[in-house]
A and B are shown apart, each in its own frame.
Chain A
Amino acid sequence: MLELNKDNFEEEVLESEGIVVVDFWSESCDPCLELMPEIENLAEKYEGQAKFAKLNIKGNRRLAMSQQVMGLPSIVIYQDGEKQEHLSGEDLEASEVDEAVANYV
């Protein structure tokens, strides 16, 4: 999964055509670490249909907040650079992400 940061976020997400799914996470967020491998599986499943990327909020806090993300784990779905959906909460399940992404591809 593509690593996002301040330098490439604009280009890879906001100026990107099609569907981009961004997984916001941090080392200290246990639910994020548990969810990550399942999101990686989804990335494989949607290969060619949606781009999956992750953003470690450590060092990118302002960037996350500019995307109105202030809670982890958060998964945000973009279409043609426009924010479409924001899923969040420590009980977030990969199956919910799967269902949400399926609506766009």
Chain B
Amino acid sequence: MAEVYDILIIGGGPAGLSCAIYGSRSKLKTLVLESSRKLGGQVADYHEMENYPGVVDTTAPELVDSFEEHAKKFGAEFARGEVAELELDGFIKKVRTEKGEEYQAKSIVIATGAEPRKLGAKGEDEFRGKGVSYCATCDADFYVDLDVVVVGNGNSAIEEAIYLTKFARKVTIIVIHEEGKMDAEKLFQERAYANDKIEFVWNSTLEEVKGEGIVDTAVLKNVKTGELTEFDCDGIFIFVGRVPSTDFLEDTEVDLNEQGYIITNDEMQTSVQGVYAAGDVRDKPVRQVVTAAGDGATAAVMSQSYLEAEEHWRENVLKTDKQVVVAFWNPTDNDSLDTLQTIEKLGVEEDDNKKLVKIDTYRNTLITERYKVTEIPTILLIEEGEVVERLTKPAAEDLEEVLS
């Protein structure tokens, strides 16, 4: 049989790499599947990195290189492949790539991030590589002493516009909002206003890209008046937000929100047990490297405790021919301590046909929730995987009756 991974991480950006560090350091068999040639996700495509805590002087590519080195240090494995399909029912889950390779894992962490949103302007696709760009560090060199347009007004758009001023003669930012209003943080707004090379066109969006072979004109549309203006430029950089990479989840039970982001709880768990999501792909308010890394760590730790609980349950309860006495308890609850004592006195542990399994409801929420245990102590008698008796807060006599 093919190898079965404990954690299979889809996507090798900051969230996936952080998850790999935590997973492999805990000695879990960890695999990262990444579709592109290079690890690092979005971070490989820009330069400035000023807000990752504890790393004062760095660049985005440098930071993410050390993420990669760190993940490799503890033995995480890496493979290249674009995940196209998931089979999530059952304890062992299957992951298939576009090229048809198949991997198996007991838990899955989806860390596929988000990709640049296309604007959908006329000519946008046609002029890609010929003046329309989504990557400033890739293409800035072309625009030394030329005029460029940046479409968008969020953090990335403004940051990249500032970066482009190191090359271009003039950078014009096309903002859809009213004059003075941008989605970017104040800090970026102030830097943009203070930069002599930056100009703004407000209330506007890109309607069409024109040119003879290469871009020479951006047709701008005023969103208030509908008026179209032709704007001479040599290049158009589009940063109008991102869309989550979740197409491959369409046929699964993993719940997405309206925009296609994955819905999780605070433990990064999705609507499917054993499947977690981390980073930009998740429905959440702040999408940054540090939050992606935090998500990745949480997902790894939660998936480890899921694996422990699930494997313990399978091994001790489902795979035995004895009658299993499952006691849901909690060390801080006196009643449940008394009940455990009663069970021990009844000699369950000496009985060759019976087996006692204790579940601490605080630590093992997986099994507690699965069997809908809301009060402790609760005792279940399980035979061949089926519950045959259920006792909630039983008196000593009740226990005696069913156990002896």
CB within 8 Å of B: which residues of A? 26, 28-32, 34-35, 38, 57-58, 61, 64-65, 68-74, 86-91
**For residue B213, which residues in chain A have a CB less than 8 angstroms away from its CB?**
68
Quick one: closest A residue to B143, CB to CB?
Answer: A70
Known: A26-B141, A69-B130, A71-B129. 10 other contacts (CB 8 A): A31-B135, A57-B141, A61-B141, A65-B142, A70-B129, A70-B133, A70-B139, A70-B235, A71-B139, A88-B128
B211 → A minimal CB distance (Å) = 9
Quick one: closest A residue to B211, CB to CB?
Answer: A68
B102 → A minimal CB distance (Å) = 20
**For residue A57, which residues in chain B have a CB less than 8 angstroms away from its CB?**
141-142
The residue from A30, A38, A70 contacting B142, defined by CB atoms under 8 A apart = A70
**For residue B133, which residues in chain A have a CB less than 8 angstroms away from its CB?**
70-71
Quick one: closest B residue to A88, CB to CB?
Answer: B129
The residue from A28, A69, A87 contacting B140, defined by CB atoms under 8 A apart = A28
Interface of B is mostly: mixed
**For residue A88, which residues in chain B have a CB less than 8 angstroms away from its CB?**
128-130
**Any chain A CB within 8 A of the CB of B131?**
yes
Q: Which of B140-189 contact A (CB under 8 A)?
A: 140-142, 144
Given known pairs A30-B45, A34-B38, the reply for A71 and B142 (CB within 8 Å) is yes
**For residue B130, which residues in chain A have a CB less than 8 angstroms away from its CB?**
68-71, 86, 88
The residue from B131, B137, B214 contacting A30, defined by CB atoms under 8 A apart = B137
Enumerate 29 A-B pairs (CB-CB under 8 Å) in ascending A order. A28-B138, A29-B139, A30-B38, A30-B45, A30-B61, A30-B137, A31-B38, A34-B38, A38-B37, A57-B141, A58-B141, A61-B142, A61-B144, A64-B142, A68-B213, A69-B129, A70-B234, A71-B128, A71-B129, A71-B131, A71-B139, A72-B129, A72-B138, A72-B139, A74-B129, A88-B130, A89-B129, A90-B134, A90-B135
**For residue B214, which residues in chain A have a CB less than 8 angstroms away from its CB?**
65, 68, 70
Given known pairs A32-B138, A70-B142, A71-B139, the reply for A86 and B129 (CB within 8 Å) is yes
* Cα–Cα, bound, A38→B133 (Å): 23
Quick one: closest A residue to B36, CB to CB?
Answer: A91
**Any chain A CB within 8 A of the CB of B367?**
no
**Any chain A CB within 8 A of the CB of B28?**
no
**For residue A65, which residues in chain B have a CB less than 8 angstroms away from its CB?**
142, 214
Q: Mark B11-53, 1 if CB is under 8 A from A, else 0.
A: 0000000000000000000000000111000001100000000
The residue from A30, A38, A61 contacting B138, defined by CB atoms under 8 A apart = A30
A6 → B minimal CB distance (Å) = 16
**For residue A61, which residues in chain B have a CB less than 8 angstroms away from its CB?**
141-142, 144
* Cα–Cα, bound, A70→B142 (Å): 6
CB within 8 Å of A: which residues of B? 36-38, 44-45, 61, 128-135, 137-142, 144, 213-215, 234-235
B142 touching A28, Cβ below 8 Å: no
Quick one: closest A residue to B99, CB to CB?
Answer: A95
Quick one: closest B residue to A95, CB to CB?
Answer: B99
B139 touching A30, Cβ below 8 Å: no
* Cα–Cα, bound, A57→B143 (Å): 11
A65 → B minimal CB distance (Å) = 6
Q: Which 5 A-B pairs have the closest CB atoms?
A: A88-B129, A71-B129, A68-B213, A34-B37, A29-B138
B141 touching A89, Cβ below 8 Å: no
* Cα–Cα, bound, A89→B135 (Å): 9
B137 touching A28, Cβ below 8 Å: yes
A70 touching B140, Cβ below 8 Å: no
A29 touching B129, Cβ below 8 Å: no
Quick one: closest B residue to A37, CB to CB?
Answer: B37
**For residue B137, which residues in chain A have a CB less than 8 angstroms away from its CB?**
28-30
**For residue B139, which residues in chain A have a CB less than 8 angstroms away from its CB?**
29, 70-72
Given known pairs A35-B37, A68-B214, A70-B235, the reply for A28 and B141 (CB within 8 Å) is yes
* Cα–Cα, bound, A70→B144 (Å): 12
**For residue A86, which residues in chain B have a CB less than 8 angstroms away from its CB?**
129-130
**For residue B135, which residues in chain A have a CB less than 8 angstroms away from its CB?**
31, 90
A82 → B minimal CB distance (Å) = 14
B160 → A minimal CB distance (Å) = 13
* Cα–Cα, bound, A69→B130 (Å): 5
* Cα–Cα, bound, A86→B36 (Å): 21
B131 touching A90, Cβ below 8 Å: no
**For residue A69, which residues in chain B have a CB less than 8 angstroms away from its CB?**
129-130
